[in-house]
Chain A
Amino acid sequence: MAAAASAAQAGAHVGVADDNPSFGGQIWRGQETSPSTDLAKLWYQRFQGAKVECLRGCRVFGAEEEKTLVAETFDGWAELRFNKLILATGARERFLPFPGWTLPNVMGAGGLQAVVKSGVKIRDRRVVIAGTGPLLLAVAAHLKRDGAEICVVAEQASWNRLLRFGLGLTGQPSKLRQAIGLKRDLSGVKFVANCWPLAAEGSDRLESVTLLSGSTTWKVPCDYLACGFHLVPNAELAVLLGCILADGFVQIDDLQRTSVHDVYCAGEPTGIGGLELSLVEGQIAGYAAAGNPEKAKSLFARRSTLRKFVARMDRTFALNRELRSLTGDDTLVCRCEDVEFGRLREHWSWRSAKLHTRCGMGPCQGRICGPALEFLLGWRVESIRPPVFPARVGSLAMAPESHAKQC
């Protein structure tokens, strides 16, 4: 949204293709008609007021010849021709497999929040929130406001690291205000550090979660488990287009340009940094792509400040090595093809495991199991092939009957 509004303001002809049914990414999911914060209101106003062509429910799955993307919509396909391209494909949660994690009602932390934002009523439902990062608290606060009974928030980072992080916030007034606000919203909610789920139990849906902290384990009956361990970049389309990655993130220069001519990237795919950093990067990319590098440069200082905060967060919430023991040999890692960890760790690489077990060949194309295996076994998940998302045969063949749009 920030990139589009900025590029339009700088005079470019802008089109936005978003896989989601409405604009706002994950953080502002469902807020298009009623933004909940001042920042959201500001950006929705700018976006909706800008001259931008909007394609909702439009999922890019491949690229054609010169500067053309191909996308699928609910009932057709579309060709998107561009002069400059800005990728703002966001991030997804990392899931760490443990016994029972595939039961219905076990979702990501952002995942449960997303379905609640999309219409699920969480009032009076018992929710366990686990994993790591400030996202857990944001999710807890949101669900509590909506009437959920938050049984516990289980954070894998140690108290030591959390306290040091908290003390460090005194140098950042706006972050401190956010933290104090969260503390107030979450008064009365049980928070345990150095804690993670050992197992989710239930017959055909979740019934309880067993948690471990130090040497203590206990079982919590609940309706939902919202569990996520960090965010990982959605860099698949960037890789398909030939962009160079560094440590899994899309490499960019000061003006958010990737290694591919006329392709820019902003937000989480360049480095997990949260909402404010994404907005600044989006603006820089928008102005730069639209031919106004001076306006882009005026935002460099703000971007630097935000990036420093991100580095401290990364250190605080780094994943505890002990989490590798959560996944037993008979725990499923690949949900698409039902492949257990025991079968996977017989292999020496992602490629070998994929060829022999089909892990990574299912609909998610390794998006869920990949980040888990990177943590569990240190594998580099590589080799992106089109289509980057499953697509209908009619779309792949670009059948004239279902051609929805050409820009």
Chain B
Amino acid sequence: MPDTVQITINGTAVQVVRGCTVAAAVIQAGRSEFRRSVTGQPRGPLCGMGVCFECRLTINGQAHCRSCQILCRDGMDVSTSD
């Protein structure tokens, strides 16, 4: 059995494998749209390595976190709205 942690994504609890990034967890939960651009277009991760900022989410109340560079920790609260 893989080692898992529990996080919530927009209020829904999900089990994710330890070592998984928040971005990967959100994609695995079925979401492709992470945020909206300044003119309201749907956006998701692009570079996968922390330079494009398209994957940014609110994590534990802190906005603009680059979810592709952050490992899921037990109890993390992830939100796709600012």
Contacts and interface: CB of A to CB of B under 8 A. Distances in A.
Interface string B30-58: 00111001110111111111111110100
Interface stretch (A114-122, A244-252, A280-288): A114-122
A115 B71 contact: no
Contacts of A364: 51-53
Interface residues of A, number: 44
Interface string A323-336: 00000000000011
B19 interface: yes
B17 A119 contact: yes
Contacts, number: 119
Nearest to A108: B47
B47 A118 contact: no
A57 B46 CA distance: 19
Contact of A338 (B38, B44, B51): B38
Main secondary structure of the interface of B (DSSP, over half): loop
A122 B34 CA distance: 18
Nearest to A226: B48
A367 B41 CA distance: 20
With most chain A CB atoms within 10 A of its CB, the pick from B16, B34, B38, B56 is B38
Interface residues of B, number: 37
B70 A74 contact: yes
A105 B44 contact: yes
A134 interface: no
B5 to A, nearest CB: 11
A172 to B, nearest CB: 29
Nearest to B17: A119
Contact of A204 (B39, B42, B68): B42
B42 A110 contact: no
Contacts of A206: 32
Interface stretch (A19-27, A159-167, A309-317, A373-381): A19-27
A356 to B, nearest CB: 16
Interface string B57-76: 00000001100111100000
A33 interface: yes
B27 interface: yes
Given A111-B46, A119-B20, A119-B21, A104 B32 contact: yes
Contacts of A105: 32, 44
A118 B51 contact: no
Contacts of A363: 53, 56, 64
Contact of A335 (B27, B37, B48, B49): B37
A33 B56 CA distance: 26
Given A107-B47, A111-B48, A205-B32, A119 B42 contact: no
Nearest to A228: B47
Contact of B24 (A92, A106, A120, A336): A120
9 contacts: A21-B69, A102-B37, A104-B43, A104-B44, A110-B47, A115-B68, A119-B19, A204-B42, A205-B42
Interface of B: 16-17, 19-21, 23-25, 27-28, 32-34, 37-39, 41-54, 56, 64-65, 68-71
Interface of A: 19-21, 26, 29-30, 33, 57, 59, 74, 92-93, 95, 102-108, 110-115, 118-121, 204-206, 234, 335-338, 362-364, 367-368, 390
Given A102-B37, A114-B47, 17 more contacts: A20-B50, A21-B70, A29-B49, A57-B69, A59-B50, A74-B65, A93-B47, A106-B46, A107-B48, A111-B47, A114-B49, A115-B45, A115-B48, A119-B16, A119-B24, A121-B28, A204-B33
